Amino acid sequence: MLELLAKYGYIPPQLKEWKKENTEVFLNNENMYQLNLNGKRWMVYDYETHRQPAQLFSHYYLAKGHCVCTGMGFGVRENWLMSKKEVSKITVIEKNEQVLEYHKYIQSPFLKECEVLIGDASKISGKCDTLLLDHYELELYEEIIKDVRKISYNVDCETLWFWPLESLIMEYKEKNSTLFDIHQSYSQIYEEIKMKSEIANLPNLNEETIKLFCFFISYNKI
């Protein structure tokens, strides 16, 4: 997977172990870097499969102009977006200030070029070209869609995308495809989700692009 991602300008982060107050980064028993907040696992980075950046391929693909990104995490997306010539500015919204301190500790490259704001992503407003949401974790799909819909009404943007939309598309296809409807396309499902969710500014995408997005999040190891 890393070889494929590298063709799109991706370079893995240089993570280190770190701990401060309620925030900790460490190598877990699966040999993955893990970020814990308040004792709970928030995210991991797997240097063997690199599935985390693969899950954010859609964000990289759609990014252009001024990009507002929610959820800093390990800075995977932000470091990646800096390599894309179509991106002119990156603003990152992160709720936990200690996550920012961690990136200062490991000297993440994106800090030199990105605007970082500490705050609640669900309450953001303003204007940008591309809005990329990735601050969700254990919420139900219904809760995520409700929050994204609210944000979409408060932020004036040309394009919006949110994690885990690809997973929602694939699960919808799996659950609703029957013996008599096995050829339901990804684009048909996507258009149905767009209509039902009432989320503003989801982009118009063709079948091949949506399938490409779904390929990256489902194909964890090459």
Rounded Cα distance between 90 and 159, Å, is 14
Q: In this prediction, what percent of the chain has a pLDDT beyond 90?
A: 85
pLDDT tier at 56 (50, 70, 90 boundaries)? Answer: very high
Q: What is the pLDDT of residues 120-156, one digit of tens each?
A: 999 999 999 999 999 998 789 999 999 999 999 999 9
Instruction: Classify 65 in phi/psi space as left (phi over 0), alpha (psi -120 to 50) or beta.
Output: left
Which residues are 85's β-sheet partners? none
**Within a 10 A sphere around the Cβ of 210, how many other Cβ atoms?**
22
Q: In this prediction, what percent of the chain has a pLDDT beyond 70?
A: 95
The chain-wide mean pLDDT, for the chain, equals 92
Q: What are phi and psi of 127, to 5 degrees?
A: -145, 140
Number of residues that make up the chain? 222
pLDDT tier at 221 (50, 70, 90 boundaries)? Answer: very low
Q: What is the pLDDT of residues 178-211, one digit of tens each?
A: 545 556 789 999 999 999 999 999 999 999 999 9
Average pLDDT over residues 15-21: 94
189's CB contacts (< 8 A; 6+ apart) are 169, 172, 173, 176
pLDDT of residue 220: 57
Q: What are phi and psi of 27, to 5 degrees?
A: -85, 120
Average pLDDT over residues 109-121: 95
Average pLDDT over residues 163-182: 77
pLDDT tier at 10 (50, 70, 90 boundaries)? Answer: very high
Rounded Cα distance between 157 and 100, Å, is 25
Rounded Cα distance between 183 and 187, Å, is 11
β-strand pairing of 23-27 with 33-37? antiparallel
Q: What is the pLDDT of residues 83-102, one digit of tens each?
A: 999 999 999 999 999 999 99
Average pLDDT over residues 8-32: 94
- Identify which has the larger pLDDT, 219 or 194: 194
Residue listed under structure tokens 């989700």: 193
pLDDT of residue 172: 85
Question: Domain containing 30 — which CATH number?
Answer: 3.40.50.150
177's CB contacts (< 8 A; 6+ apart) are 184
In terms of residue numbers, what domain contains 73?
A: 2-218
pLDDT of residue 188: 92
Number of domains in the chain: 1
Q: Which of 134, 92, 86 is nearest to 113 (CA)?
A: 92
Rounded-to-5 percentages of helix, strand, coil across the chain: 40, 20, 40
